Amino acid sequence: MTAALAFKNLHFSYPDGTPALQGIDLQIMPGERVAVLGPNGAGKTTLMLHTNGLLQPTAGQIAVSGTPLTEENLPNIRQRVGMVFQDPDDQLFMPTVADDVAFGPANAGLSPDEVKARMESALAEVGMLSVKDRPPHHLSLGQRRRVAIATVLATDPEVLVMDEPSSNMDPASRRELAEVLLGLGRTLVMVTHDLPYAAQLCPRSVILSDGQIRADGPTLDLLSDEALLRHNRLELPYGFDPATLTA
C-alpha cells in the first residue's frame, strides 16, 4: 500500500541558518490517525507546513499518495492535503458560514449545484448544517473550529492535517470535536500538546524533539513511558494515567 504521506530524509533550515527539521523519515498510511507530539520549538508546526508545500524543504523528499511534492505538482498536492490551522478565524472570512464553506469548491470551478452539495455535505459531516446562514463570528470557538474543518472537507482532501485542534476549548466542545474527528474516516495528522486528546483520537503517535523523530509507536505505549516523556519535555496532566485506558 502506498503511504498517504511520506517524508524521506527531510531537512529544513530557516533563512538565518537555524535548523528546524533534521532528517525526518516518516510514513503515514491511508486511514491512519497520527498525533505529532513534542515540546515548543520541536519542529511540529514546521513539519505540518511542509505537508502541502507551504514550506519547501532544504533537502529531502515528500510524497502524497506516491506523488512527489514538487512545484509542478503543488496544485494537485494541495487538493489532496487539507490543513486546519489552530485559529479558526484564519480560515473564516465570509459573511456567512455557508459562504465560507462554499468558497473552496466555488474557486475550484465546480457548478453552483455541486458547490451547494459540497457545502451542505461538509457542514453535515461536522454537525454544523443548522448554522449555515449565521455569521461565523457569532459562533463559539468550538463551533468555529468545526466550521473551519468543514471549509477543508468541502474540497474533499485525502489527508487532513490539524494544528492544536483542542486548544482553548471547554470540555463539551472538546468532546463534540472528538466525535466529529473520529467519524471522518480520513487520514488524520494532528499536531498537539494535548496528550489525553492524542490518546483519545490517535492510535499512533510520533514524538518530535529538536527537529528529529525520537519515538514512533502506539500512543498509549509512548504515553506510558515516563522516561521518554521526561526526556522530551512532555508531561501528562495531573490525574491522567494512560495505563487505565485500553487501546
pLDDT band at residue 246 under the 50/70/90 scheme = low
Structure confidence at residue 239 (pLDDT): 87
DSSP three-state, residue 73: coil
Domains and their CATH numbers in the chain: 5-244 (3.40.50.300)
Q: Are 161 and 84 in contact (CB under 8 A)?
A: yes
Q: What is the pLDDT of residues 64-80, one digit of tens each?
A: 999 999 999 999 999 99
Q: Provide, rounded to the nearest whole percent, the portion of the chain with pLDDT above 90.
A: 91
Using CA atoms, how far apart are residues 127 and 55, in angstroms rounded to an integer?
32
Q: List the grid coordinates of 81.
A: 492535503
Residues 6+ apart with CB under 8 A from 121: 153, 154
Q: Distances in Å between the alpha carbon of 167 and those of 10, 51, 174, 218?
A: 28, 21, 9, 23
Owner of C-alpha cell 527531510: 10
The cell 523528499 sits on which residue? 61
Which residue do the cell numbers 525520537 mark? 214
As a whole number of angstroms, the distance between CA 19 and CA 65 comes to: 27
**pLDDT tens digits, 78-98:** 999 999 999 999 999 999 999
Answer whether 0.95 is exceeded by the pTM: no
pLDDT beyond 80 at 247:
no
Which of 47, 43, 49, 54 shows the shortest CA–CA distance to 20? 43
CB 64 within 8 A of CB 132: no
Rounded CA gap, 130 and 124, in Å? 8
State the DSSP string of 215-228: EEEEHHHHHT-HHH
**Res. 245 pLDDT band, cuts 50 70 90:** confident
The pLDDT tens digits of the residues spanning 170-179 come to 999 999 999 9
Of 36, 33, 45, 49, nearest in space to 181 by CA: 33
